[in-house]
Amino acid sequence: MTTTTQSLQTSEMIELQALVLEECAVKRGDATNADAGNVDSDFNIHPSYSEGDLRFLVQSSHDFHNADGELIVTIDVSFSAWYRVRGQADLSESFLQGYVNNSLMRQVIPFVREFLANMTNRLGIETFYLPLFVRTGAIEAGDSIENGPTDKPE
């Protein structure tokens, strides 16, 4: 059996159970105006596994700068994606990174996009819409599947 075939079969053994907003923070910058400028975004993913439950903590940080390059606001948001793993799934690091790039980000990004659009609208700055396709996330260096957070949503 090829690695691609194994990965496809493993993907079918993972079923999304819940997507939960874990944390959000808004920090005001020192900008003197809120004229639209650019946004710098960063995504980090922390996986964990416990007794058939796979969790990805997706943390993202977004720095909104005005046209002069001054920081208007930083918005940090974290979502947990909880999955049920059926059978003997291959949860190797290479599989997890592929899953992050091909499936996880497609499931989580719409929620991050909606959150950012709502927050920027409420803050009175130009509404920001995250692009449909963003740079893929990366599993944090040193984060193994065994040492991530394991608290389940209620």
- Where along the chain do its domains lie? 3-139
pLDDT given for residue 134 in this prediction: 53
pLDDT of 25 strictly over 90: yes
The pLDDT tens digits for 53-62 are: 889 999 999 9
Burial status of residue 35 (CB atoms within 10 A of its CB: 0-12, 13-18, 19 or more)? middle
CA angle at 106 for the pair 103 and 111, rounded to the nearest 5°:
135
Enter the CATH code of domain 3-139.
3.10.420.10
DSSP string covering 48-112: EEETTEEEEEEEEEEEEEETTS-EEEEEEEEEEEEEEEPSS----HHHHHHHIIIIIHHHHHHHH
Query: What pTM does this model have?
Result: 0.75
